[in-house]
Amino acid sequence: MDIQIDRESAIAQVDVGEASSTAEIINAIEALLTHADYVDGMDSIFDYSRCDFSKLSAENLKSVAHFLVPHLSRLAKRINLVVGRDLEYGLARMYGVYAEDIAPRERHIFRDIGSARKWFLSNKRA
Confidence (pLDDT) at 126? 56
pTM, 2 dp: 0.94
- Contact at 8 Å (CB) between 75 and 32? no
Alpha helices in 11-126 (DSSP H): 22-34, 58-68, 86-102, 113-122
Output the pLDDT for position 89.
Answer: 97
Per-residue model confidence (pLDDT) at position 124: 80
Is the separation of the CB atoms in 39 and 75 below 8 Å? no
Domain that holds residue 31: 2-122
Q: Check which CATH number belongs to the domain holding 81 and give it.
A: 3.40.525
What pLDDT is attached to residue 95?
95
Taking the C-alpha atoms of residue 107 and residue 95, their distance in angstroms, rounded to an integer, is 10
| Res 31: pLDDT | 98
* Tens of pLDDT, residues 24-44: 999 999 999 999 999 999 999
Q: CA–CA separation, 119 vs 108, rounded Å? A: 9
- Flag residues of the chain having pLDDT under 50: none
Q: Please give the tally of structural domains in the chain.
A: 1
CA distance 106 to 120: 11
* 97 CB neighbour count, 10 Å cutoff: 12
